[in-house]
Amino acid sequence: ILLTQSPGTLSLSAGERATLSCRASQSISGNYLAWYQQRPGQAPSLLIYGASTRATGVSDRFSGTGSGTEFTLTISRLKPEDCAIYYCQQGGSSPITFGQGTRLEIK
Amino acid sequence: VQLVQSGAEVKKPGASVVLSCKASRDDFTNLYMHWVRQAPGRGLEWMAVVTPNAGSMSFAQRLRGRLTMTSDTSAGTVFMAVNSLTSDDAALYFCALGGPQHLEIWGQGTLVTVSS
């Protein structure tokens, strides 16, 4: 399954809301769609799984929605530490695939 | 839970590299250990998954035949070998523990450089 993320780069100010999109080439079984945050120089970390369930310890500023082929990650009240690349990943069909990432810049 | 990966490697083209990933929890063998790599400045590429307890493995089609995974469950460690290295294999390699559908805990990564 091919995952296409948009936009490629998002530049917003602190306090604003970010909306990141992930579109799948075919419906994702079980809505097994996850989101990861990768800060510069760090390993990715899990934010959301099952399309909408926040991982342990993840701020409620992060929320995931969607089903089928269209998924969204919303980050509210942006903070400087949200500067990162965000990846979606599907686990409904083998092999696991990742989107190409959305770079979020905080102005 | 923490995953600690082995140190950076420098290999010549055509050589093999063995990477290790040690888990800090004893029951990791019931979970799924994934391997993901990231070429410099690029995105994430899923490579393979193993369930150490069941010995079940799955590989990305384009890497199948060049990957070998083994586990030392008593040491809480999973190993992955990548054979016939080319410059395209130069990347940061991550192990990640989780379920079959998502990757919950990530290691710090092992940098593999391929250079003659």
B54/A13 Cα distance (integer angstroms): 48
What integer pLDDT is reported at residue B54 of this predicted model?
Answer: 72
> Does the structure show a pLDDT above 80 at B52?
no
Q: Residue type for B20, please?
A: S
> Does the structure show a pLDDT above 80 at B53?
no
Give the strand pairing for B110-114 and A97-98. unpaired
> Does the structure show a pLDDT above 80 at A26?
yes
Evaluate whether B60 touches B69 at the Cβ level (below 8 Å): no
Contact A87 B108 (CB under 8 A): no
Query: From the CA of A89, how many Å to the nearest CA of chain B?
Result: 8
A58 contacts: CB under 8 Å, gap ≥ 6: A46, A47, A48
The per-residue pLDDT for range A57-103, each reduced to its tens digit, is 999 999 999 999 999 999 999 999 999 999 999 999 999 999 999 99
Q: Does A35 touch chain B (CB under 8 A)?
A: no
**Band of pLDDT at residue B107, cut at 50, 70 and 90:** very high
User: Using the 8-state DSSP alphabet, how is residue B57 labeled?
Assistant: E
B97/B85 Cα distance (integer angstroms): 25
Query: From the CA of B109, how many Å to the nearest CA of chain A?
Result: 7
Q: Exposure string (b/e) for A56-67, b if CB count within 10 Å is 16 or more?
A: eebeeebbbebe
A9 contacts: CB under 8 Å, gap ≥ 6: A102, A103, A104, A105
Contact A32 B102 (CB under 8 A): yes
